[in-house]
Copies of this chain bind each other. A is one copy, B any other.
């Protein structure tokens, strides 16, 4: 039993590192992995016990994971406590959350920089940075194109 536990701990540790790559904090990543490896939905108290942190911490961690659509709450008749579980097909979920964050940001920034560009044009002093602004816009355009294609790719991969 202890040996199996060791393997589980290693799995939690290693898989969490991959989860962190998706811009998720180390503790949230660990929390997700624990929940993922558990075959049953878990309560806040259970997770608090396993991860060794206060219930408050687990509560906030779970909330951010829910906001990212990586964890959902489930009901089971007769159980008063809130139950949480991870969603199926990790890849789809993580990619979606991740790409959404990117394209969202890029869209906002493109607009913001365009607005600054107009301001710079009105006061016709901005000749020096004019060039850089255009580069920035192009930069965002390229990123947008890449991640859009990746988004379509992700959908295709799921189908296959």
Residue of B nearest to A136 (CB): B15
Find residues 95-133 in chain A having any chain B CB closer than 8 Å to their own CB: 95, 102, 105-106, 109, 112-113, 116, 119-120, 123, 125-126, 128-129, 132-133
* Contact, CB under 8 Å: A8 / B129: yes
- Which B residues are in CB contact (< 8 Å) with A50? none
The contact size tier of chain A is: 35 or more
- Which B residues are in CB contact (< 8 Å) with A153? 146, 149-150
A49 interfacial by beta-carbon distance below 8 Å: no
* Contact, CB under 8 Å: A15 / B113: yes
Chain copies in complex:
2
Partner of A90 from the list B39, B109, B139 (CB cut-off 8 Å) is B139
A51 interfacial by beta-carbon distance below 8 Å: no
11 contacts between A and B (CB under 8 A): A4-B123, A11-B113, A11-B129, A14-B116, A17-B105, A18-B143, A39-B128, A91-B143, A149-B153, A150-B150, A150-B153
